[in-house]
Amino acid sequence: MRSGFIGIVGRPNVGKSTLLNAILGEKIAIVSDKPQTTRNTIRGIYTEDDAQMVFMDTPGIHKPRNKLGEYMTNAAIHTFNDSEAIIFIVDDKLSAGPGDKYIVDLLKEVDTPKILVINKVDTMTPDGYKEIYDEYDELDLFDNIIGISAKEDHNVGLLVKTLMDYLPEGPFFFPADMITDHPERFIVSEIIREKMLHYLKDELPHGVAVEIESFKTERNLVKIGAVIYCEKKSHKGMIIGKEGKKLKGIGKSARMDIESLLGAKVFLELWVKVKENWRDSDVMLSNFGYKDE
């Protein structure tokens, strides 16, 4: 038997969470087209008969602007030395911007095996893909370079097979039927936040968080009470919407995904509260689960 941890890193919005979901065949990490969607390190557990990989989907590495940003970036960087291998996901040339260069410089400082994954190949021309490949290959930093489309599930199996070679001998860390070590309450809060990202689109302020206040099972019904926190009174109005329609839409959409997750009927109540500047409050960040382990 073999087992190990695999870190997934990259700048915001390159498809890290989409890849994790594709590998597991289950949705455990929320996805949107907005940067910094992932805030915590999400652990997904992939198990075959004789091997287990614990994937760590990290927040996008970026220059922090507040304490929440610092937490997110530190969470990603800490993954480097805790892994048997690191997947570095890109979707553009190294010369396209400073974000990938910063991560490359960080990766040069660690001895962990590194696999470059060029994502979104379904949107690239062969020449465009070759330009990205050649630019990174010249660094002589990566043990493997693989082109994939996480969204279309292209070459994801090849990536998993390649990663197996980096696993040392050892026992499974988790039961074979487990796909994440996060509690249901955490995943439920993330589903609600995802629906806000999708439902409010460009209107959504970055400073929103979700806290599950109650989670009770009564026969075949799960009753969940959740609070959406925002930083300004004007943001509260955006989330609730005229006559409460936006909040109702968020709740309905979230409830459907939560019922699929839990396999039970769900009664979901949502409230919206204002907590000014919570992203720079150590206490609030800790309350919302954004804290170093």
**How much is the pLDDT for 201?**
67
**How much is the pLDDT for 11?**
81
**How much is the pLDDT for 148?**
97
User: Which CATH architecture describes the domain 184-287?
Assistant: 2-Layer Sandwich (3.30)
Tokens representing 253 are 């959409």
User: Model-level pTM greater than 0.85?
Assistant: no
- Chunk the chain into consecutive blocks of 10 residues (it has 293) and report each block's average pLDDT, rounded to whole numbers: 91 85 77 45 85 82 60 66 90 86 87 95 95 96 96 95 95 88 81 83 69 88 92 86 90 90 89 83 68 49
**How much is the pLDDT for 38?**
43
Q: Where are the domains positioned within the chain?
A: 2-164, 184-287
Tell me whether the CATH fold assigned to 2-164 matches the one assigned to 184-287. no
Helix axes 156-164, 16-24, angle to 10 degrees: 80
d(CA 109, CA 125): 33
In degrees, rounded to 5, the angle at the alpha carbon of residue 32 between the alpha carbons of residues 290 and 37 is 20
**How much is the pLDDT for 189?**
86
Q: Which long-range contacts (CB under 8 A, 24 or more apart) does 210-217 make?
A: 211/287, 211/288, 212/185, 212/188, 215/184, 215/185, 215/188, 217/264
Helix axes 245-262, 233-240, angle to 10 degrees: 70
CATH class held by domain 2-164: alpha beta
